[in-house]
Amino acid sequence: NAGVTQTPKFQVLKTGQSMTLQCAQDMNHNSMYWYRQDPGMGLRLIYYSASEGTTDKGEVPNGYNVSRLNKREFSLRLESAAPSQTSVYFCASWGGELFFGEGSRLTVL
């Protein structure tokens, strides 16, 4: 049972490049989330999806877009990466508790 799977685990980008973080869960959960974690800042909600076909902004959505492709998959896209987006990104799904992926460590130079 894989739970929540994120790819890639590590990525280095140059300013202005684009990329997509992929997330998939195999627990049949409706709600999925993207968080970023920076030192001393805790986990901040970027976007969430209450169910397939719906997405909503969280606390820090600027510079990001999301797609809820189906019930299993929820992707996060950076259209034009900036150094301020250097962070660890966590995907999660909710089934009575939040289940997190292992994180994607993104560095923007």
Binding site for other proteins (CB under 8 A): 31, 33, 35, 40-45, 48, 50, 56, 58-59, 90, 92, 94, 97-103
Find the shortest distance in angstroms from Cβ 63 to other proteins: 19
Give the separation between CA 91 and CA 20, rounded to whole angstroms.
13
Smallest distance, other proteins to C-beta of residue 80, A: 26
Which tokens go with 13?
A: 């980008």
Residue 67 CB, nearest approach to other proteins (Å): 19
Neighbours of 1 (CB within 10 A): 4
Please report, as a single letter, which amino acid is at residue 68: R
Measured distance CA(23)–CA(103) in Å, rounded: 10
